[in-house]
A = this chain, B = another copy of it.
Amino acid sequence: MQIGMVGLGRMGANMVRRLLKQGHDCVVFDVNADNVDALVKEGATDASSPADLIAKLAAPRAVWLMLPAAITPKIARDFASKLNKGDAIIDGGNSFYREAIDLSGEFSPLGIDYIDVGTSGGVWGLERGYSLMIGGPQAAVKRLDPIFASLAPGAGQHIEEDAAVGTAPRGYLHCGPAGAGHFVKMVHNGIEYGVMAAYAEGLNILKAANAGNGEREADAETAPLSHPEYYRFDINLPAVAEVWRHGSVIGSWLLDLTAEALKQDPHLKNYDGRVSDSGEGRWTLQTAVETGVPAPVLASALFGRFSSRGEALFAEKVLSAMRHAFGGHLEKNR
């Protein structure tokens, strides 16, 4: 099947590669011509502009956008103004699901289908396949099935059918009307933050298992470690992460990656610990709040990322100022 791919970053380029390998015809465009050239060498058809990409696609066209969330709506509208009735635009990026509802409403009168596809899999998707969460009109989603099936992990595998869950065992799912794909992907990422934080906190606790070996100050402002004799372990973190991968309740793909990362760099010296967040975690939390659903774990995980970037600083200063005001406490030197 033919598809146009716009945005050839880490994700977009690998998705093209996976589609090419399975015999699809990919017309590709990126503002960086080098990215286009690289894929042309691997069998893609180059497009020098959005208009050129459209010209090189046969109707009904399918244009897949794999772009930063901040610019996706603008580019989507630009394409919509150039496409025809029956064509489809797919947003596979990390957009807020409400954009899909809004844009779908805008493009629907033009006869252009807008399809939102939450895409998980990261840099491993090329090989493992991408988990796809899809929103949009039934007919358009059905028409694009060969693309979804090829991108998803189940491509080329025999997989048992199960009516209750449709194509889910193949690694892609039509989740509902416009926005449903990004909604499900948003919550997926919210969960991801929580799961990641659970491992990270646990490993941090294991790392502190030797706290009793050091000295802790004994003054009016510091709690003594009441039983240092119980904190004298030097835990081999790479080995622990590895053993948990085999038969334990917390085995997971994230743990696999963590174990590998710890083997390469047991003290994680290559990292400073400033953790980005890309939007979905925030939206998940805002959605939970709006709908009145408690999400303390997801919230804690998100706030931990904010704090890692120093965003708690003023609050911390307020605490120090209060402590000074009521107790005369001075901050300790670092």
Contacts of A251 in B (CB 8 A): 131, 252-253
| Contacts A220-B278, A290-B225; A312 near B204 (Cβ below 8 A) | yes
Whether the Cβ atoms of B164 and A219 lie closer than 8 Å is no
A49 within 8 A of B: no
* Closest partner residue, chain B, to A210 (CB atom): B291
Q: Mark A308-319, 1 if CB is under 8 A from B, else 0.
A: 110111111111
A residues 233-268 touching B (CB-CB < 8 Å): 233-236, 238-240, 242-255, 257-258, 260-263, 265, 268
Whether the Cβ atoms of B257 and A322 lie closer than 8 Å is yes
Partner of A194, one of B198, B263, B271, B299: B198
- CA A206 to CA B298, docked complex, whole Å: 14
Query: What interface size band does chain A fall in?
Result: 35 or more
Partner of A221, one of B131, B207, B278: B278
* Closest partner residue, chain B, to A301 (CB atom): B297
- CA A68 to CA B218, docked complex, whole Å: 7
- CA A177 to CA B229, docked complex, whole Å: 12
Q: Mark A263-294, 1 if CB is under 8 A from B, else 0.
A: 10100101111111111001111111111111
- 4 residue pairs, one from A and one from B, having the closest CB atoms: A194-B198, A252-B252, A273-B316, A171-B246
Whether the Cβ atoms of A131 and B246 lie closer than 8 Å is yes
